[in-house]
Structure 1
Amino acid sequence: MKKIIIGAILLGSLCHVKAQKINLGKAVGVVSKGASALTFTNEDAIKLSKESVGYMDNNNSIAGPKDPYTIRLNKLFAKHKSQDGLNLNYKVYKAKDINAFACADGSVRVFSSLMDMMTDDELLAVIGHEIGHVKNQDTKDAIKSAYLKAAVIDAASSASSTVSSLSESQVGKMANAFLDASHSKKQESQADTYSYNFMKSNKYNVVGAYTAFKKLALLSEGGSAQSGVQKMFNSHPDSNKRADFIKKLAEKDGLWKDPGAVSLPKSKLTK
């Protein structure tokens, strides 16, 4: 199983999948006029997302129903499977990497190492952010881009105006390209706002969103062991600024409570 450097929707990280690393390189810029004019519907996004997440589920270690990670996630999010008009499903990938992502079909995947470093309030904020990407249809843009890249790499469907079926190897390439996609800073900021409002409307501790970003900022500060994490933060808004944004919202709403100094936990928060 090879390690592939990817950028995820919220964090960006390292994910273990069986597919060989693909070098998108020039392929990103050679999408034909036909492909760029692709008729891409919400139904297409959902269908392709299901295929991509199915591939990723088959190629990652998933926590079982009695696993402490699954029990914890279900405790936090069981009541949010139908959230804001969305049908959501959650699973935990048992992996060393710090990551979480969502797909257009409502699939939300959380990595165990992220759960190890985040409190319950912080996890609620992180996944609330991912739900925001689905609700705002940012994930639709990401899966469309991934589909086009997979098609271009194989010189298939590049002149088509409609979505066609992909082979299993193409689905793998699309899954990797999907995880390599990044949202704009505007989309990230909108998802941050959604996360805050999600916390507020459900009467969760909104300061959890602040401390989550503070922890991500600490991860991005360097050290050779964190170089992969630091690299992915280059394409995302500054975590300290995002934390400050959350603080201002909480102060405005009278919900701010100073958490004191934020540090990374020395032991796993999921046991």
Structure 2
Amino acid sequence: MKKIIIGVFLLGTICGANAQKISLGKAVDVVSKGSKALSFTNEDAIKLSKESVDYMDKNNEIAGPKDPYTVRLNKLFGKHKTQDGLNLNYKVYKVKDINAFACADGSVRVFSSLMDMMTDDELLAVIGHEIGHVKNQDTKDAIKSAYLKAAALDAASSASSTVSTLNESQIGKMANAFVDASHSKKQESEADDYSYNFMKANHYNVVAEYTAFKKLALLSEGSTQSGFQKMFNSHPDSEKRAQNIKKKAEKDGLWKDPGTVTLPTTKLTK
């Protein structure tokens, strides 16, 4: 199966990648010729997101029910499957990317290499952030953009105001474009806030969101740790986002100095 070189986003932020291992199957390079006004409903977003995730699930190794990654994820997030009125489902991709993403249909996918470097509380913060993107409908915008890139609309179909059915190659391209999508700074900030409030409301350690961003900052600086592959070239906003979380925690009287944040030298999922 062909490996597609893609950019991945961690906590919703695009990071350039040199050696991605997530597979999106064989997707033809289709050039979009543009589209006119498209009536794109929440139902469309959910349908197309599910098609994209089903495609990625088929083309990547998923941790089985007794796998330590799945056991850990179920322990952490099992009670949040209906978080904030959303019906969510979680799976682990056993790949080398350091990433997580969520889709409009409520699918949340966490990558094993991310679980290897994040504590339980940090993973809760990561998932809280991704749930925020779903709740705020940021993922609807992302899947719409991915659909338009994949549909290869010609002069006739571009006049249509409805979402058409995609073939398998187009679904593969849509999945690729979705994972490669970026959110605005405003959307990222709102998802960060959602994660903080999610942690606070559930009496989790809000400082974990700070330490998660500090770890990303270390990776972006080019730190090398045993057992980890540097998955992206830079992550310029991580330190700033960490400091924003610290200010919130201090204001709420929830700040506890975690000390020096370092990347683990061994896997945290065993």
Give the TM-score, by structure 1 length.
0.90
Q: Distance in 2 between matches of 1:181 and 1:91?
A: 20
> Does residue 1:31 correspond to 2:28, yes or no?
no
Aligned-residue offset at 1:223: 6.5
CA contact (8 A) 1:104 1:134 kept: yes
Q: Are the aligned partners of 1:133 and 1:191 in contact in 2 as well (CA < 8 Å)?
A: yes
Partner of 2:248: 249
CA separation of 1:156 and 1:256: change in aligned 2, threshold 3 A: farther
Q: Which amino acid aligns with 1:141?
A: D
Distance 2:153 2:39 in 1: 19
What is the Cα deviation at residue 15 of structure 1? Answer: 4.5
Alpha-carbon distance between aligned partners in 2 of 1:163 and 1:153, rounded to the nearest angstrom: 11
Question: 1:88 corresponds to which letter in structure 2?
Answer: L
Aligned to 2:12: 10
Cα deviations by residue, 1:231-261 (Å, 9 ceiling, x for unpaired):
5x36xxx100000000000000000000000
Secondary structure at 2:6's aligned position in 1? strand
CA contact (8 A) 2:94 2:111 kept: yes
The one-letter code sitting in structure 2 at the alignment partner of 1:242 is R
Aligned to 2:232: 229
- 2:167 is aligned to 167
1:11, 1:100 within 8 Å by CA — same for their partners in 2? no
The share of aligned pairs that are identical, in percent, is: 76
8 A Cα contact 2:24 2:55, kept in partner? no
In the aligned structure 2, how far is the partner of 1:217 from the partner of 1:105?
30
| Equivalent residue number for residue 118 of structure 2 | 118
Q: How does 1:30-179 map to 2 (within 5 A)?
A: 30-32=33-35, 34=36, 37-152=37-152, 157-179=157-179
Instruction: Tell me the distance in 1 between the aligned counterparts of 2:183 and 2:255.
Output: 28
SS of the aligned residue for 1:40 comes to coil
- Tell me the SS of whatever aligns to 1:76: helix
After superposition, the Cα gap between the structure-2 partners of 1:182 and 1:22, relative to the gap in structure 1 and judged at 3 Å, is farther
Q: Which stretches of structure 1, 4 residues or longer, exceed 6 Å deviation after superposition?
A: 153-156, 223-227
Write out per-residue CA displacement over residues 197-249 of structure 1, whole angstroms, 9 at most, x where no aligned residue. 00000000000000000000111112699664125x36xxx100000000000
Matched, 1:185 2:185: yes
Q: Which residue identity lines up with residue 247 of structure 1 in the other structure?
A: K
State the aligned residue count: 261
- Per-residue CA deviation, residues 8-49 of structure 1 (Å, 9 max, x unaligned), is 36254634215346667xx57x523x2xx1000000000000
Letter in 1 for 2:115: M
Partner of 2:258: 259
Q: Letter of the 1:240 partner, please give it.
A: E
Q: 1:260 to 1:180 in 2, by over 3 A?
A: same
- Higher relative helix content: 1
Q: 1:223–1:51: structure 2 CA closer, same or farther, 3 Å change rule? A: same
What TM-score do you get using the length of structure 2 for normalisation? 0.90
Give the SS at the match of 2:152: helix
**1:201 & 1:251 partners in 2: Cα distance?**
16
Q: Measured at CA, do residues 255 and 110 of structure 1 come closer, stay the same or move farther in structure 2, by a change above 3 Å?
A: same
Instruction: Mark the CA change 1:22 to 1:222 in structure 2 (over 3 Å): closer, same or farther.
Output: farther
Alpha-carbon separation, structure 2, partners of 1:156 and 1:250: 54
Q: Secondary structure at the match of 2:140?
A: helix
Instruction: Determine the C-alpha separation between the residues in 1 that align with 2:238 and 2:53.
Output: 27
What CA RMSD, in Å, does the superposition of the two structures yield over aligned residues?
A: 2.1
Query: Letter of the aligned partner of 2:7 in structure 1?
Result: I
Change in CA separation of 1:15 and 1:155 when aligned onto 2, cut-off 3 Å: farther
CA contact (8 A) 2:22 2:60 kept: yes
